Amino acid sequence: MTNLSRTSLAALPDTIARPRHASDAIRTGIVHFGPGAFHRAHQAAIVDRLLDHDPRWGIAAVSLRSGGTTDALKAQDGLYTLAVIDREPSMRVIAAHSDAIGPGEGVRLRALLASPDVRIATSTVTEKGYCLAGDGSLDFAHPDIAHDLKRPAEPASVIGWIVAGLGDRRAAGLPPFAMLCCDNMTGNGAKLRAACVALARAQDAGLADWIAGEVAFPDSMVDSITPASDAAFLAKVATELGVEDKAAVQRERFTQWVLQRFDMADGPDLASAGVTLTSDVRGYEQAKLRILNGAHSSLAYIGLARGHETVFDAMSDAALEGFVTRLVHQDIAASLGAVEGLDIAAYADAVLDRFRNPEIRHLLAQIAWDGSQKLPYRLLDTTREALDAGRSVDRLAVPVAAWIAFLRRKAEAGEKITDPLAETLAAAATSGDPVTALLAVEPVFGARLAGDERFRGAVREAFQHFAHGDVAPLLGR
């Protein structure tokens, strides 16, 4: 079977959407570090729409570690298929990548970062890829950063490459490129700026000052479920297209890219392609954390207690769906202030509808991992605010009680609890009074919640229902 390419585009079935822009008109204006599935399904798909009316923003895909994706893009003229998996599935060929640079092509990458045509650099390398310490600052003990300090002209880290590229532009009298982190870290732009300035300062104080004063590092938030492109999926794409596509990706229909406004003369009209530009990225992050992630955790712990396996299964349980809908709209949304450009009620409805997608198989057992790390931000901050405002916490106590019951079932069955505090949680969950013991785990609940009689009473009452397998009355709240 032949590969997807510009030559084979014309022979694709009419059901496959094709790019509207011509490849010879596209220039490289964006350099992207980390062209994994999420980038190709999310950011590149958005830029692909932008290229239909502004050809300046082609993406050079850069992989510093593995050449698999960049080799596939080179072999396919930068093309790949995006499959949207939903009730009404669709496939579209994306043509946003104007270049691909793999490991060992540092000379080409250095030249590209110094090109006047390149105005933006972006990254999706996971939080670990930025070589940060636990407090979010640059980890100078990291082997890649230690390498970059000794050999700044041949960087190993993304931070090293950003600093080297900006240094070349400063030396040439060129304006800097804007640096857009697209990994979900709170305050990701500020963290990336601080890391780049720190590395630059260890090399050249003048460059560090220039980066601190001249380079835009806007905060951002991104969201779209992107399942792995496994062999079965790639075989399905090949059958649909009639050609092989080794770079195909899939995602849900919902996609969100929230970006802090930043100054760039004659820059891309990102809003026209679906990017939300705002001065309040933190507000969007909090809405996602509390509504989406809070509802996810609630579905996981309550759903597992009711014998469900996936998010879709849990949302197909009418009683549980009704409970989570009320929890989101009446309890969680009430904890959120106004956010510029965000209709919180509409966002909540969109989140709940995403959970009803039968094509996304999201395991509740996986969502249930690391509850001690997740619950404080997903549900407990909301609970504290409800208590302070004098609102009821009866519904908010139910997923907390479900988590306690989940831990007790796991511990009593001798099953592994996936959590950094696993031993502490297991001991508390199997004690004579698991509610009191677990609420006393200070890193999770803190003194405020542990000592609040309304919350303690609500959790204790809900836990008794889970302990006796009588969950239905709780779901009518």
Q: Find the CATH number of the domain harbouring 425.
A: 1.10.1040.10
- 262 and 296 share one domain: no
CB atoms within 10 A of CB 442: 9
Instruction: Give the CA distances from residue 220 to residues 7, 158, 187, 281, 284, in Å, rounded to whole numbers and listed in that order.
Output: 37, 18, 8, 6, 9
- 156 and 128 share one domain: yes
- 295 and 275 share one domain: no
66 backbone φψ class: left, alpha, beta (φ>0; ψ -120 to 50): beta
- 275 and 413 share one domain: no
Tokens 């019951």, located at residue: 405
Please report, in tens digits, the pLDDT of each residue of the chain (477 residues total). 899 999 999 999 999 999 988 878 899 999 999 999 999 999 999 999 999 999 999 999 999 999 999 999 999 999 999 999 999 999 999 999 999 999 999 999 999 999 999 999 999 999 999 999 999 999 999 999 999 999 999 999 999 999 999 999 999 999 999 999 999 999 999 999 999 999 999 999 999 999 999 999 999 999 999 999 999 999 999 999 999 999 999 999 999 999 999 999 999 999 999 999 999 999 999 999 999 999 999 999 999 999 999 999 999 999 999 999 999 999 999 999 999 999 999 999 999 999 999 999 999 999 999 999 999 999 999 999 999 999 999 999 999 999 999 999 999 999 999 999 999 999 999 999 999 999 999 999 999 999 999 999 999 999 999 999 999 999 999
Q: Do the domain assignments include residue 436?
A: yes
For every residue of the chain, which 3-state class applies, written as one string?
CCECCCCCHHHCCCCEECCCCCHHHCCEEEEEECCCHHHHHCHHHHHHHHHCCCHHHEEEEECCCCCHHHHHHHHCCCCEEEEECCCCCEEEEECCEEEEECCCCHHHHHHHHCCCCCCEEEECCCHHHHCECCCCCECCCCHHHHHHHHCCCCCCCHHHHHHHHHHHHHHHCCCCCEEEECCCCCCHHHHHHHHHHHHHHCCCHHHHHHHHHHCCCCCEEEECCCCCCCHHHHHHHHHHHCCECCCCEEECCCCEEEEECCCCCCCCCHHHHCCEEECCHHHHHHHHHHHHHHHHHHHHHHHHHCCCCEHHHHHCCHHHHHHHHHHHHHHHHHHCCCECCECHHHHHHHHHHHHCCCCCCCEHHHHCCCHHHHHHHHHHHHHHHHHHHCCCCHHHHHHHHHHHHHHHHHHHCCCCCCCCCHHHHHHHHCCCCHHHHHHCCHHHHHHHHHCCHHHHHHHHHHHHHHHCCCCHHHHCC
Q: Do the domain assignments include residue 1?
A: no
Query: What b-and-e string marks burial along 264-302, b requiring 16 or more CB atoms within 10 Å of the CB?
Result: eeebbebeebebbbbebbebbbbbbbbbbbbbbbbbbbb
Instruction: Provide the domain count of the chain.
Output: 2
Q: Cα–Cα distance between 315 and 324 in angstroms, integer?
A: 9
Tokens 């677990």, located at residue: 438
Bridge-based pairing of strands 90-94 and 80-84 is antiparallel
pTM: 0.93
Structure tokens at 377: 């931000």
- 334 and 314 share one domain: yes
Q: Do the domain assignments include residue 256?
A: yes
Q: Do the domain assignments include residue 361?
A: yes
- 321 and 197 share one domain: no
Q: Do the domain assignments include residue 2?
A: no
- 318 and 448 share one domain: yes
Structural domain for 98, as ranges: 9-279
Q: Do the domain assignments include residue 4?
A: no
Last residue of one domain, picked from the residues 253, 279, 305: 279
What CATH number did the domain enclosing 139 receive? 3.40.50.720
- 125 and 220 share one domain: yes
Q: Do the domain assignments include residue 314?
A: yes
Q: Cα–Cα distance between 119 and 59 in angstroms, integer?
A: 11
Last residue of one domain, picked from the residues 279, 294, 315: 279
Compute CA 246 distance to the chain's CA centroid, rounded to the nearest angstrom.
Answer: 23
- 323 and 417 share one domain: yes
Rg (C-alpha) for the chain, rounded Å, is: 24
Tokens 């790390």, located at residue: 373
Last residue of one domain, picked from the residues 217, 248, 279: 279
